[in-house]
Structure 1
Amino acid sequence: MSWIYPIIWLLCTYDGWSLVVPRLSTPPALHGELESPLYPRPYQSSLSEQWYLSVPVGYQLQLSFIHLDVEPSADCHYDSVTVMYEQKVLGKFCGQENSAEGRGGRQPILSPGNHLRVIFHTDDSKAGPHQHIGFSAFYQAIDIDECSLPDPDDGSGPLCSQICHNTLGSYLCSCRHGYELRPDQRTCMLDCGGGVFTEKEGILTSPLYPLPSPLGLSCRYHISVDPSFTVTLNFTGPFHVESTGQDDSKCFHHWLQVSIPEREPMRLCGDKSPGVIPTQSNSVQLEYRTDSAGLSRGWEMHYTTQRVQCESPGTISHGEVTPSLPQYQYRDYIHVRCDTGYKLMLHGEQIRAYFSVCQINGQWHIPLPECLP
């Protein structure tokens, strides 16, 4: 394999070939400098050298020639400095920056993106009486005003649907009053007025009700009261949530979902009001969704709360249950007293006294006893 080495040596030294000296890419930096080989001494012939420059993402790269002294020629045919962005030539320079001869780089060059490629090429001609020393240049990061850029061509719409704020190296989106930023951090949606509701009574409505609901809604409402209370929902106003079936059973695109612990969620749509929904729970979640098309006029709901109730304990033979109330609520208690000549018996054993408390689960904590002779 020793015959390879003379060929490589020939390619590098033969007068008809250019010497290619590749350069590695520079790591992203906010600024930097570059010079032609041997600068400020005269450069050699038969060179083809490249620099790959980059600044951090979110910035544009601006290149400025501090000094340019490259052999001038028509269209910079012999020696040249070429500046490229990807496959696009941004400029080809030769001569001196302040001379009428040649094509000097007098103005800064702004890259469309955050990187540039600089190519320095010299031909194989021998140096004349004037030896040219090449170039020195400076590059720096220029902040991109993303907010002033045209909309992307990918159909995704503007960078920000409402308000765009340019920041150093990036941008931020915000929304007008009454709207909130979606998780994509670009688009805005109407503030649903959702959240957690702990009051014992209240009114909830769809956004803009009684006007039609905006499209693209994803609203959540959570009613959560003290565990000693249960919530009752009452849909009082006109109800209309778009459905795709005549029987109001196809709630595919728009829906209001009511979720109660330990029960199957109820997905509601159509124009028939759900009316009154006793939840028997202190916690209820509602989720209102509309997609990007269709029409829903919305809904209005009044919720109330009631203390947890226990069923009436009933009566007992040869005895009396006190107090006698029309309703028994959480923490109410009862006593049982037997008639004269009868004994209090519970689970087959005599007891001296009896009382029971209405628990938070709606059950009496001890069953009724018996009065036996």
Structure 2
Amino acid sequence: HTVELNEMFGQIQSPGYPDSYPSDSEVTWNITVPEFRVQLYFMHFNLESSYLCEYDYVKVETEDQVLATFCGRETTDTEQTPGQEVVLSPGSFMSVTFRSDFSNEERFTGFDAHYMAVDVDECKEREDEELSCDHYCHNYIGGYYCSCRFGYILHTDNRTCRVECSGNLFTQRTGTITSPDYPNPYPKSSECSYTIDLEEGFMVTLHFEDIFDIEDHPEVPCPYDYIKIKAGSKVWGPFCGEKSPEPISTQSHSIQILFRSDNSGENRGWRLSYRA
């Protein structure tokens, strides 16, 4: 027969436990816990032993795979505590089946097992996925959330960390401008703007340094991340890839540099010096 279990924890015992279990019996316990995984461990285990557990056994499975099959007697090695073998379901369902065949050579007391719902550690599970947290991941019961390093803001996707980098103004006649965190990878999902604004009569020239590394695409020009320079109606760029742009003589005293990054990639960014 089948028993449905929906509590967050519980106990499963062989029929008649702690007395010997009957011959020719079969019981299945279906354990379902919401949002969690199921952990099962045995405090006592004493079944008839047989080759490949073909006579009596306890089988633990999920919807589509067998997690473990046990039979025989408990190990007598004193270092091993009863129930040291923990079975963990990949999802929120586990089924445990006890079966005994038509005969028992001697008396076997069966088993005593306990199960409990355990939280899924989403942070560990998502480490390699595209959807993992950009900086820090925090696991809590039933879920997880992301947070960012100092100086960064969590994007509305609740996963990537961006910086506030718009409205930077440069009024000196020479200077250096870099992507945020340069030469470390620049932040994702950010829109940066830098304005160089000098007195009329001066003209700004830009020189990009050697390290230039902005995510690019083999067929489409700069669809992900790029830097663009504007002076009045003139536009240079978008630039991306690994080759620094040639020096730019803007013929203007007021220019705007725009830098955009999407929500993926680990590129080092750019650094430029300007002079009037």
Corresponding position: 1:116 with 2:94: yes
After superposition, residues 356-367 of structure 1 pair within 5 angstroms as none
In the alignment, which residue of structure 2 is the partner of 1:192?
164
Corresponding position: 1:210 with 2:177: yes
Residue 178 (structure 1) aligned to one of 143, 151, 157: 151
In the alignment, which residue of structure 2 is the partner of 1:32?
10
1: distance between equivalents of 2:117 and 2:82? Answer: 19
8 A contact 2:43–2:83 mirrored in 1: no
After superposition, residues 1-373 of structure 1 pair within 5 angstroms as 21-24=1-4, 26-27=5-6, 29-40=7-18, 42-57=20-35, 59-85=36-62, 87-97=64-74, 106-111=83-88, 113-114=90-91, 115-123=93-101, 125-128=102-105, 130=107, 132-148=108-124, 151-152=127-128, 156=130, 159-189=132-162, 191-194=163-166, 203=169, 210-212=177-179, 214=186, 216-219=188-191, 235-236=197-198, 254=226, 270=237, 272=250, 289-291=260-262
Following superposition, the deviation at residue 79 of structure 1 comes to: 0.5
1:85-129 CA deviation, whole Å, 9 max, x = no partner?
A: 5555443223443668xxx96414131524432121222x24555
8 A contact 2:46–2:111 mirrored in 1: yes
Root-mean-square deviation (CA, aligned residues, Å) is: 4.6
2: distance between equivalents of 1:69 and 1:141? Answer: 25
Following superposition, the deviation at residue 288 of structure 1 comes to: 5.5
| CA pair 170-290 structure 1, distance change in 2 beyond 3 A | closer
8 A contact 1:97–1:106 mirrored in 2: no
- How many percent of aligned residue pairs carry the same amino acid? 30
| CA pair 238-192 structure 1, distance change in 2 beyond 3 A | farther
2: distance between equivalents of 1:23 and 1:40? Answer: 19
TM-score by length of 1: 0.46
| CA pair 235-297 structure 1, distance change in 2 beyond 3 A | farther
**Which amino acid letter does the alignment assign opposite residue 192 of structure 1?**
E
Larger radius of gyration: 1
2: distance between equivalents of 1:108 and 1:89? Answer: 15
| CA pair 67-120 structure 1, distance change in 2 beyond 3 A | same
TM-score by length of 2: 0.58
- In structure 1, stretches of 5+ residues that fail to align are 1-20, 222-232, 245-249, 259-265, 278-285, 301-373
Aligned residues: 228
| CA pair 288-129 structure 1, distance change in 2 beyond 3 A | closer
- In structure 2, stretches of 5+ residues that fail to align are 181-185, 199-203, 209-213, 238-247
Which gives a bigger RCO, structure 1 or 2 (Cα 8 Å, sep 6+)? 2
2: distance between equivalents of 1:215 and 1:144? Answer: 29
| CA pair 217-165 structure 1, distance change in 2 beyond 3 A | closer
Following superposition, the deviation at residue 138 of structure 1 comes to: 0.9
